[in-house]
Amino acid sequence: MSGAAPFAPGVHILLDLHGAVMLRDARRMEAALRGAAKAAGATVLSCHLHGFGEGSGITGVALLAESHISIHTWPERDYAAVDIFMCGKADARTAAEYLEKVLEPQRVERTEVLRGQEVAGAV
């Protein structure tokens, strides 16, 4: 079928957030991950965050029916790494925009990849 968009089962977005808020607060960060999933139209299956102690960062993941959102923070560097992968009707871009708004970073670096993309002639 000529002119059809290539098949890609999911969108994978990597966010580097510099100068964001809530980098030490696992409870509020869980709410942010759940909010991002909801905004994207995704279904949260489970969510688990772990804080590394007073003043330290957190790591966590929201496991979604449509894949996942994960975060790792380094408050001592004012930095958070976010990984969003969604397939189906869920919108990873909307999840990214939600987190960018809620976490209020001073600077964002966004990388987007269409995963599993079929390329004509590829082996």
Please identify every residue annotated as catalytic: 67, 72, 87
Q: Which amino acid is at 118?
A: E
H/E run at residue 81:
strand 79-87
Q: Exposure string (b/e) for 64-94, b if CB count within 10 Å is 16 or more? A: bebbbbbbebebeebbbebebbbbeebbbeb
Q: Shortest CA distance to 36 belongs to which of 57, 15, 51, 18? A: 15
